[in-house]
Each structure stands twice: as C-alpha cells, then as structure tokens.
Amino acid sequence: MGVKRMQRAKLAAAYLLLALAAALGWLYSCLPDRVYLEPGQALYLPRFAWVEPQRGHGSRNVASTRAVGSYQTTLTLGGWLPIKTIRAVVTERPRVTVCGTPFGVKMFSEGALIVGFSEIGQADGGTSNPAKEAGLRLGDRVICIGQTRTESNDAVKEALDAAEGQSVEVVYIRSGEQKLTTLTPVWDGATGQWRAGMWVRDSSAGVGTLTFADEELGVFAGLGHPISDSDTGESVALRSGEIVSCEITGCSAGTAGSPGELKGHFLSAHAIGTIRINGENGVYGTTRTHFSGQLREIAFAQEVVTGPAEIWATIEGETPRAYRIQIERVSDADPRRNLVIRVTDPSLLSATGGIVQGMSGSPILQNGRLVGAVTHVLVNDPTRGYGIFAQTMLEQAKNAVQNDAEAQIAE
C-alpha cells in the first residue's frame, strides 16, 4: 500500500508541475515584450496585479528609474519567481489631438490589381482567356507588361496594344513575392482591341474615421486597419494617396450577419493630408492642415484595462459624439486585435445597431486618455468589435514621418 501511495504522490506531483509549467507558459505569452513609462512612474501592470519587477540585484528595477532611456527588467511572481525579461522604455507621455471625424480616402496602387476575369469570344466561336492561361489569379498585382510599367489601367491597355498579339513578359506580385510569366493578348472583334481577359483596378476610394493627429510631428493616424480592395480583399499596395474632408450623409444599420455602413461624400478635392503608410495597423501620413479635436494624453498599452470607456464617432455630418462602450478584453498577444469592445450606448445602438463600416478608426478613450481605436465589427454581433492600442498607432505614425523624409529625398 505504501508503494502505491508513493506512486500516486509522484504522479500527482508530476501533474502539478506540468500544470504549473503550462500556467507559466500562458503567462509568459500574455505578458508584453515592452512597456512604456513616464519618468518616475512605477512599473505596474493592472491586468497582472500579481506580477512585479524582480527584487534585489537580479535586474534593474525601472520602478525607481527617473532618467529617460531604455532598460531591461525581469517580471516575476511575487517578486521572486522570474517569468519574463522585458524592455521598459522611459519617455515623456505623448499628447495628441483626438479627432473622431470622418475623412475621405483617395489612393493609387503600385501596379494594376486583378479584380476579375472575362472570357473573350473568338472568330471560330470559342473563347479564350490569356490572363488565366498565363497563370494569373485574382488579387495578383501586375507591375509591368513588356517594357511598360503598368501603374494605371490606361498603361495596361497601352502595353497590350503595343504587343499586337505577340507574347510578352508580365511581371506581377503575388503574396508579396515578385513573379514572371508570359502572356499572349488576343484580338477581341466585338470591342476592336487587344485584350488579356482580366479586369484591373489602379485606385481605391472610401470613407473612414480619423483617430488622431500629432501637430508636433505633423502626422495623422486613422482606420486601425489597411485599406483593402473591395473585390479581392487584398491590401492595396500604396503608390500614392491623400485624404480629403468628408461629410457623413447617412447610415445603414448593422444586423447579425450583415454589417452596416456609414455613407458619405467628399466635401472638396483639396487634400488635407498625404498617405505615407497603408499598413496592417492603419493608414498614416503627413498633415497639410490643422485637424480639429481635443488634446489628450495617450495611455500606455499596459495601462488599458477592461471596464467602461467611450468611443468618439461621427454618424451624421462632420462632428463626432462620445458614445459609451465596455472594454471586455485586453490582449498584448495579437498586434492587430488588442481590444474586444461592446457598444452599450442606447443612442448609438438605436442609430446604427452598434459598430458599422466607416467607423473604423473611431478613438477609444478610458479615464480621459486615448487608449485605442475601433478596427473591425464582429459580423455576427454588430454590438461588438475589435480595437487596437493607440500606442501602436503612434509608433506607426512616427514611421510615416520617416517615409515622408525618404520620399522628399527621392524627389
């Protein structure tokens, strides 16, 4: 009997150690790799109250650091069991102009995006499709046909005309990789022109919400997700783009399985900003004018917690309103989906059903600080959606300044 008890005890201990290892692994993955602090601010993680910097001499404790800089520190359980070594960046807390206003986007892609195919009738009664026969697919981005760079729909037509039915090399991008194929245009007697059997698009336009502007840096940030082609879902590769003033004229409410949408029109052809980045975390660029809004501090990512908050959204005209929401979940693991939010404001629920397309980029505020921006709606529940940290967007906005400087040097 004693031997069996000993075996059971060992088995229980093994399971306990396995469970502990799994728990520590989960905690490791949940903890951020980097935190930001103001000079003199103690390192405290509200979402992980039991985690604190290592005590003693094992690591520099940034809780007492007052100098601006970047330091390593080890996070522990109870100050003694090491979990993860992270980097703490001590910096002045940023302040930005929080907007929530609508803006129109006009963007030209790098290359011609294939958005569809059509069969071409032949004299013998059959059909052909040179683009498909060349191995091209929906979502491929054609950047060169023969000697012609295809930066517009007209350039594609000119390249096909120049080939006059002869085989030409086609350079295209698929999933970020440059590829090469050969295409032979055919004559379309019905339209009287050389064709490849593919529909292409060289530009996109739409409506979104401006999250913030940094007057000191001269940059803006919006959407919280990339501008994608409506037919293919592919992110538009930016060649050039600008934002213009916009007015919201109506809204189709969202229902389960059918996301709603804000409707608007551009107020002017005059650009108020130049797009420099169409990235996974939003649209960023340099400003050409002053943006209206309120100057607010940005919350560092580790300061964002579940609980009451608000979004600033414009569902009519040009002026945003604050609406109550609940932050249901906060995560550092996914760089694009840091927050799960739920709309609780009766007036917004009555007007839109919750979150609709066009509200992407709406600022999220908690305790008076900008904590993030709305990015997506949950299709099966329009009252809920995702958000991204404002801190992440500010870091991307700073990259837009660098891109602007490089563009000016190139010019």
Q: Of the candidates 257, 243, 205, 251, which has an alpha carbon nearest to the alpha carbon of residue 359?
A: 251
Q: Of the candidates 31, 103, 115, which has an alpha carbon nearest to the alpha carbon of residue 74?
A: 31
Instruction: Give the residue with greater pLDDT, 206 vs 297.
Output: 297
Q: Active-site residue among 360, 362, 376, 404?
A: 360
pLDDT at position 332: 87
Query: 99-136 pLDDT, tens per residue?
Result: 999 999 888 888 888 988 998 887 777 788 999 999 99
Over 70: is that where the pLDDT of 192 sits?
yes
pLDDT at position 406: 58
Q: Active-site residue among 204, 225, 332, 404?
A: 225
Over 60: is that where the pLDDT of 407 sits?
no
Query: 9-58 pLDDT, tens per residue?
Result: 666 666 677 766 676 677 777 888 889 999 888 888 888 888 888 875 44
Query: 314-335 pLDDT, tens per residue?
Result: 999 999 999 999 999 999 888 7
pLDDT at position 49: 81
pLDDT at position 59: 46
Q: Active-site residue among 235, 292, 331, 345?
A: 345
Q: Of the candidates 70, 75, 71, which has an alpha carbon nearest to the alpha carbon of residue 60?
A: 71
Query: 150-159 pLDDT, tens per residue?
Result: 888 889 999 9
- State the average pLDDT for the chain: 86
345 is catalytic: yes
Domains of the chain: 31-90 (no CATH), 95-105+204-400 (2.40.10.120), 119-196 (2.30.42.10)
pLDDT band at 169 (very low <50, low <70, confident <90, very high): very high
pLDDT band at 94 (very low <50, low <70, confident <90, very high): very high
What sign does the dihedral 346-350-354-356 (CA atoms) show?
negative
CB burial string 281-303: b at 16+ within 10 A, e below: bbbbbbbeeebebeebbbbbbbb
pLDDT above 90 covers a percentage of the chain that reads 44
The CA-based angle 365-265-99, given to 5 degrees, is 20
pLDDT at position 404: 57
CB 151 within 8 A of CB 145: no
Q: What's the CA gap between 26 and 49, in Å, rounded? A: 16
Taking residues 282-287, what's their average pLDDT?
92
Token couple for 131: 């683009």
Query: Which contacts of 115-120 are long-range, i.e. CB under 8 A and separated by 24 or more positions?
Result: 115/199, 115/200, 115/201, 115/229, 115/231, 115/232, 116/198, 116/199, 116/231, 117/197, 117/198, 117/199, 118/197, 118/198, 118/199, 119/197, 120/186, 120/188, 120/195, 120/197
Taking residues 372-377, what's their average pLDDT?
94
360 is catalytic: yes
Taking residues 200-206, what's their average pLDDT?
83
pLDDT at position 225: 85
Q: Which residues lie closer than 8 Å to 394 by C-beta, 6 or more apart?
A: 94, 96, 212, 214, 221, 298
Residues β-bridged to residue 174: 177
Query: 345-362 pLDDT, tens per residue?
Result: 999 999 999 999 889 999
Q: Which residues lie closer than 8 Å to 237 by C-beta, 6 or more apart?
A: 109, 110, 111, 141, 173, 278
Lowest-confidence range among 130-134, 229-233, 257-261, 343-347?
Answer: 229-233
Phi/psi at 61 (5° precision) = -90, 110
pTM: 0.83
Taking residues 249-277, what's their average pLDDT?
87
